[in-house]
Amino acid sequence: MPLYTSRADVRTDSPERYAKQLVAHLSRKIEFSTEGPTSTTTLDTTTGAITIGDGVLTLTATGTDPEGIARVEHVLGSHLERFGQRKELEVTWTRTTDES
């Protein structure tokens, strides 16, 4: 079964603030765990991650179901774009497939 990964690197001068806001907002409905700069959640069989970097917030979705990947992309991406609307944050996902 192929493993799908989708990644979006969002440039921002406030990655910590947006990560905190995104996790706090989404934690009302889904559970996150945070270790270091990365917060993760699982929706059905797909794992979503929010990672704080230097001037970048990286969103990832990993799983075996393309529909699950699309769901995580939508949940993380649409909320981040809404929170970062004033700064014109744009989330662009890139998918890869590991067929091993």
| Residues 30-86: tens digit of each pLDDT | 999 999 999 999 999 999 999 999 999 999 999 999 999 999 999 999 999 999 999
Residues forming a β-bridge with 58 = 9, 51
Domain 3-84 sits in which CATH superfamily? Alpha-D-phosphohexomutase, C-terminal domain (3.30.310.50)
Domain borders along the chain are: 3-84
pLDDT at res. 100: 60
CB 79 within 8 A of CB 27: no
Q: Which two tokens stand for residue 66?
A: 């393309």
